[in-house]
Amino acid sequence: MTPEQIKEKLLAYTWERWLERHFGGFILSLFIGGNARSAMKMIGVDVEHVATLYEEGAWHESEDVYKLVIVDVAKEVAKGFRIRRLSAACEHLRDEQRIRIMELVDDNRIGAIEKLRKVVDTLKTVTTHIWFAHDYEYYLTPILKREIPKYFTGDIDKLIGDLSFPERKNAHNFLEEELLGGADLNELVQKYGWIKARDSFSDPFTVAELGELKENLLKESKPGVERVKIPQGLKQLISEARELVYYRTLRTDVFYELLFVARPIMEAAAKSYGLTYQELRNYSVHDLLVGKLVEYPDLVTCAYYKDEAAFFSEPILSKQKLVSQEIKGTVAYSGKARGVVKVVREVGELGKVHDGDVLVTFMTAPSHISAMKKAVAFVTDEGGITCHAAIVARELQKPCIIGTKIATQVLKDGDLVEVDAEKGIVMIINQNDGKK
């Protein structure tokens, strides 16, 4: 299929900007084909996320596409599908491939490009888990909103969040436990350094940074998480939701951990083409594997259709002008707070968040925890029952509004805002004039 044919297929759907996330061509290329039915079948589900669009530094979603997806997911559920099967498979993939990639790094019999090819095959499987988590959440959310009101009254979104708080711990939880348990910091850097490098090109944790994190943890008194008693009729559904929350963090943890372990291979591949590792960001891995050296623009457009994709130098959708002073989203944890905005688009920007600031980002991840503890409130573009920001907001008991879609586009560093997480509104009180 030619790029123009792929473009024509995508323009048959209605698209809405969904998630601000600055990826270069290298990371975008790793997702090619992971959404296809053939890839989904490899992880045990007969589902297809037929099309997706990335342009102007953001992912776009289509209700038309998700309507097709949930038909496939419903069929899988009717056959007895449970998300625990995929989370277990993802855990096994991580454990197995981490060892395999480490062995590849040390294998001098294989060239850098052939090593890269083997890593890409593994990462494609991980991206399939990433695609499917969104598909399953889209299927499960309306069921939760329909069934929970049969047993509870009140704020349904908040109830969904409280009920779906994960029962299993992610890598960052284990890192904190081991820090408090007195584990050797040098060993923890080797084991968990990748958590800070979730954009694949940032630096990992240093010993000094983990030492600072440990000191902060020792000073903290962690608020307890409210546990809601689950009626018998909801137990299976809530168990599924809780496992989905765990799986959603797990699949991206696995992706970035394996990418980090494979960094020596990617550095060697870049060197073979006369590139630095950082320059690799704007090259497609599939081009490199066939000997092509094509640099794509920083804000490249990538159109995914079934198991194919095409890169474009310009956006393929008409631009929408953003003029709103009021940003609306879903309440993840109620409350009100005022503070100065700090927009975080990359992991390397987390250091600019200070006590009392309002953290504004496309989505949060375990690497954001230190900044979230300093912030007085969180606002994200992305949102859903399983998003990381919602879970951490409930744990830290801080006002949080998720799913605004446009917060990182409208707000800028230095803006003074009020986060009204009772109504789900962010109001700009005073805009930064550029002199602050």
Tell me: pLDDT of 435 over 70. no
Confidence of residue 381 (pLDDT cuts 50, 70, 90): confident
What average pLDDT does range 50-67 have in this prediction? 92
Residues 6+ apart with CB under 8 A from 242: 163, 164, 165, 166, 167
Say which residue, 267 or 351, is predicted with more confidence.
Answer: 267
What average pLDDT does range 394-404 have in this prediction? 85
Find where tokens 């095409």 sit.
310
**Given this model, what pLDDT does residue 30 score?**
95
**Given this model, what pLDDT does residue 86 score?**
97
Euclidean distance between CA atoms 46 and 64, whole angstroms: 19
Say which residue, 89 or 344, is predicted with more confidence.
Answer: 89
Domains of the chain: 3-155+231-312 (no CATH), 166-224 (no CATH), 326-430 (3.50.30.10)
Confidence of residue 113 (pLDDT cuts 50, 70, 90): very high
Share of the chain above pLDDT 70, in %: 94
Tell me: pLDDT of 384 over 80. no
**Given this model, what pLDDT does residue 326 score?**
67
Confidence of residue 155 (pLDDT cuts 50, 70, 90): confident
What average pLDDT does range 190-219 have in this prediction? 89
Tokens describing residue 10: 């995508």
**Given this model, what pLDDT does residue 40 score?**
97
Selection from 151-155, 201-205, 308-312 with the highest mean pLDDT: 308-312
Instruction: Look up residue 375 and give its amino acid.
Output: A
What average pLDDT does range 214-237 have in this prediction? 81
Instruction: Yes or no: say if 21 and 57 are a contact pair by the CB < 8 Å rule.
Output: yes
**Given this model, what pLDDT does residue 57 score?**
84
Q: By mean pLDDT, which of 198-207, 312-321, 330-339 is the weakest?
A: 312-321
Q: Which stretches of 208-307 are assigned E, i.e. beta strand?
A: 301-305
Sheet with 416-420, side-by-side order of all strands: 326-328, 425-430, 416-420, 336-344, 358-361, 377-380, 400-402, 330-333
Instruction: Yes or no: say if 334 and 421 are a contact pair by the CB < 8 Å rule.
Output: yes
Confidence of residue 218 (pLDDT cuts 50, 70, 90): confident
What average pLDDT does range 253-263 have in this prediction? 95
Residues 6+ apart with CB under 8 A from 67: none
**Given this model, what pLDDT does residue 264 score?**
96
Confidence of residue 198 (pLDDT cuts 50, 70, 90): confident
User: Helix (H, G, I), strand (E, B), or coil: what is residue 319?
Assistant: coil
Tokens describing residue 71: 């038909």
What average pLDDT does range 201-219 have in this prediction? 89
Instruction: Yes or no: say if 299 and 311 are a contact pair by the CB < 8 Å rule.
Output: no
**Given this model, what pLDDT does residue 323 score?**
47
Euclidean distance between CA atoms 125 and 131, whole angstroms: 10
User: Helix (H, G, I), strand (E, B), or coil: what is residue 179?
Assistant: helix
User: How many other β-carbons are positioned within 10 Å of the β-carbon of residue 390?
Assistant: 30
Selection from 17-26, 56-65, 225-234, 360-369 with the highest mean pLDDT: 56-65
Find where tokens 């979104």 sit.
157
**Given this model, what pLDDT does residue 80 score?**
96
Instruction: Yes or no: say if 66 and 138 are a contact pair by the CB < 8 Å rule.
Output: yes
**Given this model, what pLDDT does residue 436 score?**
44
What average pLDDT does range 203-229 have in this prediction? 81
For 339, the enclosing helix (H) or strand (E) is strand 336-344
Tell me: pLDDT of 322 over 50. no
Confidence of residue 102 (pLDDT cuts 50, 70, 90): very high
Tell me: pLDDT of 408 over 80. yes
